[in-house]
Copies of this chain bind each other. A is one copy, B any other.
Amino acid sequence: MNKTLFFIAAICALAGQGIAQEDMGIMKLDEFRYPKQRKIIDIPNVNGLQVLKCDFHMHTVFTDGHVWPNVRIQEAWKEGLDAIAFTEHVEYIPHKDDVKPGNLRPHELAKNQAAEQNILLIKGTEVTRNTPPGHFNALFIQDDKNLVVSRDSELDNQAIQAVVDQKAFIFWNHPGWKAAQIEGSYEWIPFVDKMYKDKNLHGIEVVNGFGFHKKALDWALDRGLTIIGNTDIHNLIAHEYDIDRNGIHRTMTLVMAKDRSAEAIRTALENGNTVAWSSKYLFGKEEHVRNLFHACVKLIPVFYEKTNAKKAASRYYELQNNSDLYFELKLVNGKATKSMILYPKSSQILIADAGQGKLVYEVVSTYVRSDKHLQVELSL
């Protein structure tokens, strides 16, 4: 839904109040007011599971973000998220001259507003070690009492242990960040390998904002770690994402959960039932991306056949994308339309030579490995 329409509507909606105030000599000029609504991001259920829209990485003025916590709830509401977590840095507090530190203070300040607006608010923090090993998010923590504030590298293990002790769900953030600059590349480092072997690493942030960390996707796939995508937003979403146009969304993790609750999200995260979504792209385990594709896209026969000069017959189909996701397809096998773009909530005509049983397309807007797109079969 487009904000302009909201806005028009707002004129009407506010007219009543306007008149009331008008009586008191104040005229309302609402034509340019931004309309308020919670956008619905339309993604059908996948095999009976709800697809929850989650962002598990963001900051406020309490560490190095630019906004008060309430703004993050407003943003989540406007942009159709189901769940978010404030993940303030444990060890990095640049505003401390002005703002009193408190790792879970944003959570405390915003929790009622979140409840009122039906946003699930999950307690989290960012364990912010120097690189390597870098940063880790811990979700579902209990409190912020025993976190390790010193960045001394000798305390790296202890810092992780502090969140392990809280039974947190832990994922490695943006593995290539800085690491790529320091080393020229980024690697699966021993520190992380030990966490993994100790079962203290549960996921990897494969997409951070607009950056897709390619190797990280393969590491997650090969080790059965959960694939995560987040904004890691510090600034305003509205100043970083071209969000007001419909179809433009912030980076997020699509969590396939049995219901809309924090518990179901935790279970889904532990089971690895996620797909990361950033810009036009989906990133995940092949099975999940495939199921998501087939939940969203349907092939409808048009019952129209055209015969050309050489007496070859073409059959017409409509390929419908019933979701707000975006899919771009290239033909791999069969004789049919070579490439197609399925924009959010739209369809395209597919023309196939008669007499074929199926077509195979590569969905080039998906990554099921750093070097591999999903392939789908369409039965004719």
Contact = CB atoms under 8 A, between A and B. Distances in A.
Interface of A: 1-13, 16, 21, 24-35, 37-40, 42, 61-62, 65-68, 70-71, 74, 78, 95, 97-100, 102, 105, 109, 112, 115-118, 176, 180-181, 184-186, 207, 210-215, 235-236, 238-249, 278-281, 300, 302, 304, 306, 316, 318, 320-322, 324, 326, 328, 339, 341, 343-349, 370
21 contacts: A1-B247, A1-B346, A2-B2, A4-B248, A5-B248, A6-B341, A8-B11, A9-B326, A12-B341, A16-B339, A21-B180, A24-B180, A31-B280, A32-B241, A37-B348, A38-B349, A61-B99, A65-B68, A74-B235, A117-B349, A238-B239
Contacts of A345: 1, 39-40, 42
Contact of A26 (B35, B212, B235, B243): B212
A153 to B, nearest CB: 23
A328 B15 CA distance: 13
B24 A184 contact: yes
A263 to B, nearest CB: 13
A2 B67 contact: no
A302 B67 CA distance: 26
Contact of A344 (B1, B7, B236): B1
Nearest to A181: B24
A99 B25 CA distance: 37
Given A210-B30, A214-B27, A302 B115 contact: yes
A176 B98 contact: no
Contacts of A98: 62, 99-100, 102, 105, 109
Contacts of A346: 1, 6, 37-40
A328 to B, nearest CB: 7
Contacts of A65: 68
A128 B280 CA distance: 43
A61 B68 CA distance: 7
Contacts of A62: 98
Contacts of A105: 98
Contacts of A100: 97-100
A32 B249 contact: yes
Given A2-B246, A242-B4, A278 B212 contact: no
